[in-house]
Chains A and B, each alone.
Chain A
Amino acid sequence: MDFALSPEHQMVQKMVRDFAQKEIAPVIKEHDRKQEPIPTALKRMGELGILGICIPVRYGGQGMDYLTLGLACEELEAVDTSLRVAMSVHAGLCSLNLFQWGTEEQKERLLVPLASGEKLGCGAFTEPGMGSDVAAMTTTAKRDGDFYILNGEKMWISLATKADLAMVTVKTNPSARKASEGLSAFIVDLHSEGVKTGDIHGKLGVRAGSTGWISFTDVKVPVANRIGEEGEGFKITMSGFDHGRYTVASGATGIIRASLEASVSYAKTRKTFGKPIAEHQLIQEKIAKMAQDYEIARLLYYQVGWLKNQGKRSTRETSYAKKFATEASFNAANEAIQIHGAYGFSDEYDVERYLRNSKGAVIYEGSSEIQSLIQAGYALGERTDKPLRCELPAYDESVWQS
């Protein structure tokens, strides 16, 4: 067993940290207040290769391993959640899933522009009437010759108004025996005729991130853009969540770290009753909990990164990592505010933003309740992983970098 990060991993951590600290940290408060994305953020992440970090070089990516994706997400979300959300949907739900399920032709045509950052991707599953119950979606696609005709609306979609391509799951067979067998997945060009998008404002958190809706009115999608077979949409969507949840888990770990760091530095300087509050045991307990949770969250997502590198399924371990880290990040941010007292309640300090940002991840990409159901299913022996037609390939340096 080896818990050490390689020099390569460490250099990536530093590079992503420097980027987030230098270019995002100084302006994030202003954009969060105005509920406006930082216009250059995604472009810069593309230029620096972060958006295609663990996709093989021959598909336009940077050829790093899957653990590196998690490390980058931790660094990004330690500064702001909006950056990590972009990774979750562009890299996780869209690119990695396309890498797992796409044909060689689809990878060359669709993955290359995504991984190189030339185009932005998102993942569109949730609808106004459904979220957790994926099989209950009502957006439809009907085959018409070489095309499918899409109709319906997707809601709460990160990067809805920014993305060029979307991994969209829709119903292709309303009379399927099991609803989950009637779904299919497509890569939809969001610049197609009949696609409309808009932003949702008034969100509690991730205010510098873009979340919106996408509506499809008789949108023609070439059959060549169907990912997997007809009826495989549910499985593909779940694979996408394996990747997305991993980025959410590692990102939330970054919020725990940021909350811990802010709390330690504040607690050492703020004095009450004649001594720094860091010397009060009740404050120490909060800090100790954050430090411990950071360690647990980190180890849980490292485990997922490792499993992915080995080419092993990690649905269960990803669920542990996602549920633990997102809940712990919410608690850590909450306690960080408590430690900052009234100042923590003001947007002069970052910790209130951490709290607002952390809440969403307890809901999206499979809420905590859904994660508990998954975990109970495994524990009770009611759920086992059946082999998929297309598994995420194990990381192989020579293949990734050639």
Chain B
Amino acid sequence: MKIIACIKQVPDSEAKVKAENGQVSWGDAPLVINPFDEYAVEGALQQKETTNGTVTALCIGPESAKDALKHALAMGADEAVLVSDSALDGLDTLGAARVLAAAIQKIGGADMVVFGRQTLDNGAGLTPAQTARVLGWPMLGLAGQIKVDGGNVTVERVIEEGRQTVSAKLPAVLSVVQSIGEPRYPSFMGIRKASKAAIPVWTLADLGVAAPTALVTRAELMNPPSRETKVEIITGESPAEIADKLADKILAEKVL
């Protein structure tokens, strides 16, 4: 079975992200593979193992995003493809879906495309479904477990009301959640392979698609309002006195 895992590179979860001159900035925090996409790679690798298949990691991003792809290779992916083009700067999720779909077609022969549930930075969570729509393939979202049987894929979804099992014909698009299993660490063999891998970079021209026009544009980016907090330590002779003072304060501030 041929599996494609779509991954994005995002600022590390410990980065302090803020809006600066209308742009998102994360300072010099390192960029890493989107943590949810590590689960996508894990899910893809599990299927590779049970079906004796292959995994190709696919990413739209700048040259630096090769590091995220190398992480996927080190985990055990067989190949990686980066789509990079200066015309992709103002990409929205539908645009990303169109470009991903074109790349999936160019890679060719995929039986299953696995996504993360959402990204850590933009976090729309829309790209998987939109990609499925562009491809015209069924979409099984938020899968916790994946089973492939013949030409069908069945996934277990944990939803608020309980557990749901859904299935679809392959090829299909999936997005996965954490219950797929903890992402494996890169192996040493994988690390060596990844560090030597030449990752092809495809432009929009290579994909034969025009730069998608963004349907959604970012009108404004703002930092959350900074909140003024004041700490006051209430003291007193006895616990009873402190409690009285505290109760008065709470009433005066109309907290209760």
Contacts and interface: CB of A to CB of B under 8 A. Distances in A.
Most B CB contacts (10 A, CB to CB) among A8, A53, A63 go to A8
Interface string A1-32: 00000111001101100110000000000000
Interface in A38-64: 48-49, 53, 62-64
A11 B185 contact: no
Interface stretch (B127-135, B190-198, B217-225): B190-198
B125 interface: no
A401 interface: yes
A15 B189 contact: no
Contacts of A11: 70-71, 74, 186, 191, 194-195
Nearest to A44: B185
Contacts, number: 36
B185 A15 contact: yes
Nearest to A8: B195
Contact of B192 (A14, A18, A63): A63
Contact of B189 (A6, A14, A62): A62
Interface residues of B, number: 12
B195 A7 contact: yes
A19 B184 CA distance: 10
A401 B193 CA distance: 11
Contacts of A63: 188-189, 192
B187 interface: yes
A53 to B, nearest CB: 7
B188 A62 contact: yes
A63 B188 CA distance: 8
Contacts of A14: 186
B188 A19 contact: no
Contacts of A401: 192
Contacts of A15: 74, 185-186, 191
Interface in B177-208: 185-189, 191-192, 194-195
A53 B185 contact: no
A161 B70 CA distance: 40
B192 A48 contact: no
Most buried by A among B71, B185, B194: B185
Given A11-B194, A11-B195, A53 B70 contact: no
Most chain A Cβ neighbours within 10 Å, of B189, B192, B195: B192
Interface in A45-91: 48-49, 53, 62-64
A48 B74 CA distance: 13
B187 A49 contact: yes
A62 B70 CA distance: 18
Contacts of B188: 12, 49, 53, 62-64
Nearest to B32: A14
Contacts of B185: 15, 18-19, 48
Contacts of A8: 191-192, 195
A64 B71 CA distance: 17
Nearest to B184: A48
A7 B186 CA distance: 13
A6 B192 contact: no
Contacts of A19: 185
A12 B194 CA distance: 11
Nearest to B183: A18
A375 B157 CA distance: 64
A11 B187 CA distance: 10
Contacts of A62: 188-189
B84 to A, nearest CB: 18
- Which of A6, A11, A18 counts the most B-chain CB atoms under 10 A from its CB? A11
A223 B7 CA distance: 56
Interface in B223-240: none
A338 to B, nearest CB: 27
A63 B196 CA distance: 15
Contacts of A7: 70, 194-195
Nearest to A400: B192
Nearest to A68: B188
A7 B185 CA distance: 16
A56 B192 CA distance: 13
B128 to A, nearest CB: 26
A64 B195 CA distance: 12
Contacts of A64: 188, 192
Contacts of B71: 11
Interface in B21-79: 70-71, 74
A119 to B, nearest CB: 19
Nearest to B71: A11
B10 to A, nearest CB: 16
Contacts of B187: 48-49
Contacts of A53: 188
Nearest to B67: A7
A14 B68 CA distance: 13
B58 to A, nearest CB: 20
Most buried by A among B74, B188, B192: B188
Interface string B153-189: 0000000000000000000000000000000011111
A8 B67 CA distance: 11
B243 to A, nearest CB: 28
29 contacts: A7-B70, A7-B194, A7-B195, A8-B191, A8-B195, A11-B70, A11-B71, A11-B74, A11-B186, A11-B194, A11-B195, A12-B188, A12-B191, A15-B74, A15-B185, A15-B191, A18-B185, A19-B185, A48-B185, A48-B187, A49-B188, A53-B188, A62-B188, A62-B189, A63-B188, A63-B189, A63-B192, A64-B192, A401-B192
Give the top 9 A-B pairs by smallest Cβ distance, nearest first.
A62-B188, A8-B195, A11-B191, A7-B195, A49-B188, A15-B186, A15-B185, A11-B74, A8-B191
Interface of A: 6-8, 11-12, 14-15, 18-19, 48-49, 53, 62-64, 401
Given A7-B195, A11-B74, 8 more contacts: A6-B195, A11-B186, A11-B195, A15-B74, A19-B185, A48-B187, A49-B187, A53-B188
